[in-house]
Amino acid sequence: MKYSMQMDPKISARAYGRAMRISTRHSIEICRAIRGKNLQKAKAMLQSIATRQMSLDGKYYTNAIGEMLSLLQSAESNVKAKGLDVNKLIVMASA
């Protein structure tokens, strides 16, 4: 499968969400919010939105947040499986 971003497979890991039952518009907003953050900060941000401690432009996107959290969990598992450092993982999200 071709990806829009080509990265070195030795130092990167991917998680791909296909046919996710969420709005494209919501996924774009969430991806913009977490792009460029490290994994721990992105997960913490999404979890605080899921528990309604913070919002994205006044909205919570509960269904989409849950799907994105599971996608980040998958990425974290892929990093661990490759033996890479989880603390250095940067989210490069695109919707």
Section 3-14 average pLDDT:
77
- Cα distance between residue 15 and residue 59, in whole Å: 25
By CB atoms closer than 10 A (0-12, 13-18, 19+), residue 78 is: middle
Section 59-79 average pLDDT:
94
Contact 72, 42 (CB under 8 A): yes
Tokens standing for residue 37 = 């953050």
Q: What percent of the chain has pLDDT over 90?
A: 72
* pLDDT tens for each residue of 29-41: 999 999 999 999 9
Provide the 10 A C-beta neighbour count for residue 7: 11
